[in-house]
Structure 1
Amino acid sequence: MDVSSLTYHRFVQFALEEAQRRTSLVPLPAQDRFKCISARDNKSELHALSFHAPKIRCLRGLNIAGGKMMQVLDFAIFPEAEFDLPIFCANFFTGPTISIVVLDLNPLHDVITQNDYKDKYYKELLPLGKRYAELLPWGDKITSESLKFFSPIVIWSKFTPSQSMHEILYSAFMDYFKAWLDLMEKSAEEKDPLQIILNREAQHRYLTWRAEKHIPEKQDPGYPMLKKLLGESSAKDLVDNFLFNGVSFLGTKTFLDYFPEYGRQDGTISQKRSIVGKSFETRPWDEKGNFICNGFE
């Protein structure tokens, strides 16, 4: 199938229209800085957008249209620190032979041990997650380290590109996006200064993890693709100041402060993708959203 027909442009259009209907989006400075990005291959088109709103620190999206070779969407919403809302996350890659997708409301705090936080945001969404988990099956092994940043309703899937699967993914994207906006509308501003600090640090920890996993030594496919399209300097600028907006100013802790298990004797970061070395081949949550451990290998 022609990959170019499976565009993610309408995903972005829906998100912007729905968000504008629910809140007031104001462009961030990065909107002007990154909205016009030229690819070296003179074929791929990159479109970036970024906004903030009363409860949203940063809503940003990067859409890459690579013709018949690839279609990419990296779309996220980061809440203001005064709200412990999950982080909306949609990472989609479609190539000629495979689509790899992650769609989730990434938890700001631990949903494996903190049942109160899990129930607050995910209890009513479990039927939604179950419906799409059946339509978009679990995408093979994933490390237990990465699962710390996923929720019980995460969609992690791999499938052969087709129009029917693309339509299912579009439906899931719309429903998850509307679910996040519903949570946003009901959320109350935190007044406890300590909890606000914890929210900010949790978001910084998430961004620090994601940013570190994008560097080429970690063999994440995202960064090498951007490096090929933009050059190393521009790709690093896009990653640091757009995709992971906030990693440089939300906190001062380093990757090894958050994840000391990756430290080497010489003080550098281990190049291994996973330190734990275990993975889950099947969905590690039951229908009630409880984490189960029989996926370890």
Structure 2
Amino acid sequence: MSAITDKTLLENFLNLIPAGVFWKDKDRRFLGANQMFLDYYGLESVSELIGNTDEDMGWHIDPEPFKRDELRVISNGDSIKNVLGQCIVQGKIRKIRASKSPLYDKGEIIGLVGYFIDITDEVEERQRLSYLSQTDDLTGIFNRRAYNDVVLQYEEQYKTNKTDFVLYMIDLDDFKKINDEFGHEYGNMAIIAVSKALSMAAAENCVLFRYGGDEFVVLHQLQSADEIEVIEKKLLKAIDTPRKIDDAKIVTKASIGHATYSETNSLLSLIELADKRMYEMKKEHKVKR
């Protein structure tokens, strides 16, 4: 039985690895690559690659981060692991995760060896699932889960730069009557219509969430305290505007309460204070009726 040579073993091993493997000299010029690498970039032969740098191949919109990493590997002997990046592959932008290490010969760095995997589909699926988990099924706007994530960013900005923000809690008045009179399907259409109107009203530097049922939350970073009342009136006007839904004319009304983070210095107290003020307005509306 004939012995398996190191060359044969290496060639088979390189073709078995589910990653694009490559190696370069000290000037970052390609010396070789496995078949998966060639197939990924649509190269017919390794001869199209040898002697070229990444910049020569034109695979990156911004080649500098790749170049800096490779110089660290070659000059300092660093190993780069699982670095995220983008590359141009046959006319498309793809996301990759790359690792690179020094290539030694007799203790001296003579180049680098590396590999990459394509994570485009993985990233897009993760982004899709994240979008779905943070999006309200009925209206398509952010949901309560998204609020819990986003409001933490507002709080962090306040702690870092003292950028105050206001939270508006909005609840539609007597919405149960709409469901009782016209049915839940009609009520859903009314919620959708209101959310669209609020989205337009909150378009400038505000973030809108469906907090649950007929409740909405709006967050806004403040440049001036004068903005608070202006935005509140704008939101109420968007809801109060008469609208036609499924050939029936409907007028929705809402109660609203607001609180600023600087009043409370607590996210829990913030939404509780806005909610309390919103219900105070709701009581006033009932008294007037």
Superposition TM-score, scaled by structure 1 size: 0.23
Superposition TM-score, scaled by structure 2 size: 0.23
Task: Please identify which structure carries the higher helix content.
Answer: 2
RCO higher in 1 or 2 (8 Å CA, sep ≥ 6)? 1
